[in-house]
A and B are shown apart, each in its own frame.
Chain A
Amino acid sequence: MDDLQFRRAIYADPNNQDAETIAAQQQDPSKKQFAKEISQLDEKIKQALHVPVPDDLCNKLILRQTLANHQVHKRKTRVHLALAASVAIVGGLMLNFIQFSSAYTNLGDYALAHVYHEQGSFENNASNQVTLASLNKKMAAFDGSFSKALGNLISADYCRFDGMKSLHLVYQGKTSPVTVFVVPKNDQLNFDSDFNDKQLFGSSLEFSHSNIIVVADKNESLDQWQQSISDTVNWSI
């Protein structure tokens, strides 16, 4: 290793631990002396570079980070709160929608479904009779009454007709019971004057505050039922 190379290596890194530079130092005392000088210079540089660090810098750094973190945290919780509120509102709306919206869009479909659902509960030849007086008592809730019995009334009860309080009447029919619904008017279900499926058919009569729906099997004459209902029902308003 020549002198220039050695000097360059030492100048560039006084703590150079290359085998070559160490060997060169051991062979030549003047090189060793030079390396020592530069090492001393480096020590001085190191001391000079060690400017005093402000005492409170460390604490300031931690404080600043804690404050910044706190702000981020606050912003985050606000976002979380807003998210939670939105989810709650959407959830509430959905629940409302599911619970209070009807699965059926018109009177006919619902009436048929209702009749099928309760088909097993009524016997055409059942012996129990509901009197005209007790029927009219119930009809009072709809501000109406019947002037005479339409036929053999097997059952008269309030029931839920797509969530609305309504009167469910079951009459004895020719082969199977005839169902009559008295339903308050409502915008949710479309009025359907005539409807039918394979077994049953029905028709609706529109009055000022209520609809009366008749559902029977195909042996019955719906016109006749409609006629007698129109003739006997009286509305007090």
Chain B
Amino acid sequence: MMTKQVRYEALVKALHGDLYRYAYWLCHEKQVAEDLVQETFLRAWRALDSLKDEKAAKSWLITILRRENARRFERKRFDMSEYEEATITDTQSVTTEQQIENRWLRDKISQLPPEYSEPLILQVLGGFSGEDIAAMLDLNKNTVMTRLFRARNQLKEALEAEPVKRGKYNG
């Protein structure tokens, strides 16, 4: 009993950050992301005995989270299309130039179609290889590589299309 508890707490401490970020980029909403992570870890606790290989823990948790996310849509599909998703994301005070650029890039990432953004997030945040991502998303590897290519390509083009100086010029 105790060892299971210890394993669980270790798992939470090590992976809750990555999982929360992944959830956030899936649903673009802080509260929903938090709920998703909670549900995921609760399910993970119940099925913890089936996790044999600790190295596979991250992809295992992400698989559970994706299933949870899909279930959320089965239950009730909230219509978010009336809002600009970009305006819902982080509106906290932005001060340094780096942060401004981050925010702008976040907007661009959340505007990517989900089939492009998801592999990108898994690769950059999760550190998964093309094969891992293909297995997790149930796609073949070439498709994943193509989507990664398109995702970066779109971001790069958006970045280049943006004027060097952003912001309003008054007077």
Interface residues, chain A, CB within 8 Å of chain B? 8, 11-14, 38, 41-42, 44-51, 53-54, 57-58, 60-62, 64-65, 68-69
Contacts and interface: CB of A to CB of B under 8 A. Distances in A.
A85 to B, nearest CB: 24
B117 to A, nearest CB: 10
Contacts of A14: 152
B20 A54 contact: yes
Interface of B: 5, 8-9, 12-13, 16-17, 20-21, 24-25, 30, 34, 37-38, 41-42, 45, 90, 98, 101-103, 105-106, 109, 120-121, 123-125, 130, 145-146, 148-149, 152-153, 155-156, 159
Given A47-B98, A49-B21, A49-B125, A54 B34 contact: yes
A61 B156 contact: no
Nearest to B156: A41
Contacts of A48: 101-103, 105-106, 109
Given A42-B124, A46-B125, A54-B34, A61 B152 contact: no
A217 to B, nearest CB: 72
A46 B124 contact: yes
Contact of B148 (A11, A64, A69): A11
Contacts of B103: 48
Contacts of A51: 21, 24-25, 90, 106
B120 A45 contact: yes
Contacts of A60: 34, 38
Nearest to A49: B125
Contact of B152 (A38, A54, A57, A68): A38
Given A12-B149, A53-B20, A68-B45, A45 B109 contact: yes
